[in-house]
């Protein structure tokens, strides 16, 4: 599968700040607010929730990118500048949580191709995806400390788990930014590629993820993170239950048979 293949509409009604197409089993969702550096307003965040909760059953993986020079410069501050009711602030943050949980615990694996600014809410969004690829132009920031606000899109949980509490504290207290290489070494991304190569790599990985059985992908997306958060005994029991469910699916049984009868490739070292 390549990005040169014919793209088709996904068939989900989205705001103009989001564009979605598909190439077979892989959907491509674009942040399309480049004049605002893809800043995330409420309409866009609600559109993200709509997309990931209404994803067609035959879409098996999603690639997320940003149009223009940046992936996302974060929260559109105009959304919170006039808020004076603490409850409204809580509900606004919870709306972001709901949308990003639809990404993290959705139907399909999500691969983000990052470039330019991945700042504040943009980094919170990226952290909700499953695989992250950074182009060399990428840089990360958490300027909430300088804005007089705090993380509200799940970053205090997801970003801290990716790169550690101490690094998040440094970025928020001092305004420090990380470049693509620093972020990669810190654990933000699993892949680092040259500028202009992020989408190609994301599509390659999405095609691989889409080729897995739906049951296995469900286990990886939904069970694995919860097993990690469980006490060891509960985690091991959940693992056993999920393993039994996965291997009993008809598709898994056929794949196991193909491997045993030497019709499937063995694992080899990749360059």
- Tell me if residue 79 is catalytic: no
Pairing of strands 131-135, 110-114: parallel
The tally of CA atoms less than 13 A away on the side-chain side of residue 115 is: 21
- Tell me if residue 124 is catalytic: yes
**Angle formed by the axes of helices 232-247 and 250-260, nearest 10°:** 80
Residue 118's nearest CA partner among 132, 102, 130, 98 is 132
Tokens 């499953």 sit at which residue?
130
d(CA 210, CA 23): 11
Pairing of strands 110-114, 61-66: parallel
Tokens of 10: 């996904």
- Torsion, Cα 3 201 153 173, to 10 degrees, reads -140
Residue 20 dihedral angles phi and psi, to the nearest 5°: -135, 135
d(CA 39, CA 147): 15
Catalytic: which of 7, 8, 144, 247? 144
Catalytic: which of 124, 181, 204, 239? 124
Strand (E) positions, 58-161?
61-66, 110-114, 117-119, 131-135, 139-141
What residues are labeled active site?
124, 144
């Amino acid at each position: 599968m390549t990005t040169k293949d014919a793209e088709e509409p996904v068939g989900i009604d989205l705001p103009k700040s989001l564009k979605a197409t598909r190439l077979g089993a892989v959907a491509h969702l674009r942040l399309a607010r480049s004049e605002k550096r893809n800043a995330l307003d409420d309409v866009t965040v609600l559109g993200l929730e709509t997309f990931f909760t209404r994803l067609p059953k035959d879409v098996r993986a999603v690639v997320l990118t940003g149009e223009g020079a940046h992936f996302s410069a974060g929260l559109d501050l105009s959304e919170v500048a006039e808020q004076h009711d603490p409850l409204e602030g809580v509900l606004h943050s919870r709306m972001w949580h709901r949308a990003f949980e639809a990404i993290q615990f959705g139907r399909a694996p999500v691969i983000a191709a990052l470039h330019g600014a991945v700042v504040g809410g943009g980094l919170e969004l990226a952290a909700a995806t499953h695989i992250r690829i950074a182009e060399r132009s990428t840089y990360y920031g958490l300027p909430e400390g300088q804005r007089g606000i705090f993380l509200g899109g799940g970053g205090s949980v997801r970003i801290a788990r990716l790169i550690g509490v101490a690094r998040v504290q440094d970025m928020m207290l001092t305004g420090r930014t990380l470049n693509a290489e620093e972020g990669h070494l810190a654990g933000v991304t699993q892949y680092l590629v040259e500028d202009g190569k992020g989408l190609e790599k994301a599509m390659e990985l999405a095609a691989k993820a889409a080729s897995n059985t739906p049951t296995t992908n469900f286990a990886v997306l939904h069970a694995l993170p919860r097993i990690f958060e469980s006490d060891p005994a509960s985690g091991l029991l959940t693992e056993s239950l999920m393993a039994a469910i996965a291997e009993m699916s008809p598709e898994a049984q056929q794949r196991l048979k193909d491997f045993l009868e030497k019709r499937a490739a063995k694992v080899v070292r990749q360059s």
